[in-house]
Amino acid sequence: MATTHGPLEGLRVLDCATILAAPLASQILGDFGADVIKIEHPERPDAMRGHGESVDGVGLWWTEVARNKRTLALDLRDAQGADVFRRLVRTADVLVENFRPGTLERWGLGWDELHALNPRLIMLRVTGFGQEGPYASRPAFGTLIEAMSGFAHMTGQPDAPPTLPAFGLADSIAGMAAVSAVLMALYHRDANGGDGQMIDLSLLEPILTAVGPAPSVYDKTGVVPVRQGNRSTNNAPRNLYRSRDGHWLAVSTSADSVARRVLTLVGHAEVIDEPWFARGSSRAQHADLLDEYVGGWIAQRDGDAVLEAFTDAGAAIAAVYSAKEIVDDPQVQSRDTLVRVAHPHLGDVLQHNVLFRLSETPGGIRFAGRDHGQDTDDILAELDIAAEDRDALRSRGVVR
């Protein structure tokens, strides 16, 4: 459990969001010291609690994405619940939400109302397509965005259908981008003397950036990039190759010097002098030949021997890992990339450590995701709501 300080200590974040991008953003802010208050409906807790695998009724993903967050069960649609929320907003630095555009406005809790209550508030609004435009009101999940972003079109074998990721790729990219947006807004407010502001972040725009310059290529050349399998149009050899004992190994030669080392290692240094070998894009046009040389050499050897030979030669290679190999990897273990976090119901859970390493204010994991409404009384007491008033709210189902 973390005993170190984070750079965001003293910052209060209200998290009214669910699966997955916006809660990931507030998780990262909490990892680095922010006091994050996770707000859920009293009768319908965040669906993220049941998302993915669970043990003894506890969602394992929830224990991570809700870590370092105190939990408040509060009905924002109820007039009294909305009043409690407004009191919270007056104490907050950041509000994170991912309701459909217009939802909070219908409850009298839109940006204009909340900004008037707290001019220093930064409001992060995460949606599929943004707060405006012809698609703004459409329901959207990461799967749809991964399809529309060009990612699926460019992923998979050339003669096979487009491929979607088996994990929340668009959401995760957006969540990490959202942290940057919040920190920029905080810098503007605190370093430059500005006010709070509203951040309009869609799932689509960050992953478009991650997928790369395909729209620019199409605009200037009319060329639409197509699926390359595990190859690249930018360099070769670049592929997955199978060793004699059945291990899949990834090889990349983004640097020309590495390409020369690889072909020397596999016994075909003669191609290095070919004019086309000098650039990655022209090597990619000879990928069949280069894959034959590299893949044939690897197929005659066991995986461990291949890894050792490539490492000794200064060539880039890595094994394709499952979750088991990730957990067992000595690099992962030496850097505490995965850490065990105490949990009241499960004993402990293995989680990803904080996202990056700060030498002076590293932050850390203070506690795993908490029970529904576990901190309701404490948070309401901090707002000077008396015990009898809390009981009255609870009896009406406004809080849990």
User: Helix %, strand %, coil % for the chain, to 5?
Assistant: 40, 15, 45
239-327 CATH pick, 3.10.20.30, 3.30.1540.10, 3.30.420.590, 1.25.40.10: 3.30.1540.10
Using alpha carbons, select from 248, 253, 252 the residue that is nearest to residue 320. 248
How many Å apart are CA 275 and CA 282, to the nearest integer?
A: 9
Domain locations along the chain: 12-210+338-395, 239-327
Q: What is the mean pLDDT of residues 33-55?
A: 97
Q: Among the options 31, 75, 171, 291, which is catalytic?
A: 171
- The H or E element spanning position 319 is strand 317-319
Judged by DSSP in three states, 253 sits in coil
Q: pLDDT tier at 336 (50, 70, 90 boundaries)? A: very high
pTM over 0.75: yes
> Which residue has 């490492």 as its token pair?
311
Q: What does pLDDT average to over the chain?
A: 97
133 to 98, 128, 136, 173, 380: CA distances (angstroms): 16, 11, 5, 22, 38
- Residue range 173-212, pLDDT digits in tens: 999 999 999 999 999 999 999 999 999 999 999 999 999 9
Residue 2 has pLDDT above 90, yes or no: no
- Cα 359 vs. chain centroid, distance in angstroms? 23
pLDDT mean over 313-325: 97
Average pLDDT over residues 233-248: 97
Contact between 211 and 151 under an 8 Å Cβ cutoff? The reply is yes
Beta strands (DSSP E) in 83-206 are 94-97, 122-127, 198-202
Contact at 8 Å (CB) between 307 and 313? no
In angstroms, the CA 270 to CA 273 distance is 6
Name the helix (H) or strand (E) containing 126. Answer: strand 122-127
**Direct distance between the N- and C-terminal alpha carbons of the chain, in angstroms, rounded to an integer:** 28
| Residue 213, pLDDT score | 95
Please answer whether residues 248 and 318 qualify as being in contact, where contact means their C-beta atoms are separated by less than 8 angstroms: no
Contacts of 330 (CB under 8 A, 6+ apart): none
- 70-85 pLDDT tens trace: 999 999 999 999 999 9
Q: How far apart are CA 387 and CA 377, in angstroms?
A: 8
pLDDT at 219 over 80: yes
Q: Which of 111, 115, 83, 93 is nearest to 35 (CA)?
A: 93
Q: Count of CB atoms within 10 A of residue 211's CB?
A: 19
Cα maximum dimension of the chain: 85
Confidence of residue 351 (pLDDT cuts 50, 70, 90): very high
pLDDT band of residue 164 (cuts 50, 70, 90) is very high
Given 3.40.140.10, 2.40.40.20, 2.30.130.10, 3.40.50.10540, which CATH number is that of 12-210+338-395? 3.40.50.10540
Work out the pLDDT band at 5, boundaries 50, 70, 90. Answer: confident
Taken in order 160, 161, 166, 170, the sign of the CA dihedral is positive
**For 246-271, what is each residue's pLDDT tens digit?**
999 999 999 999 999 999 999 999 99
Give catalytic status of residue 171 as yes or no.
yes
Phi-psi region of 173 (alpha: psi -120 to 50; beta: other; left: phi over 0): alpha
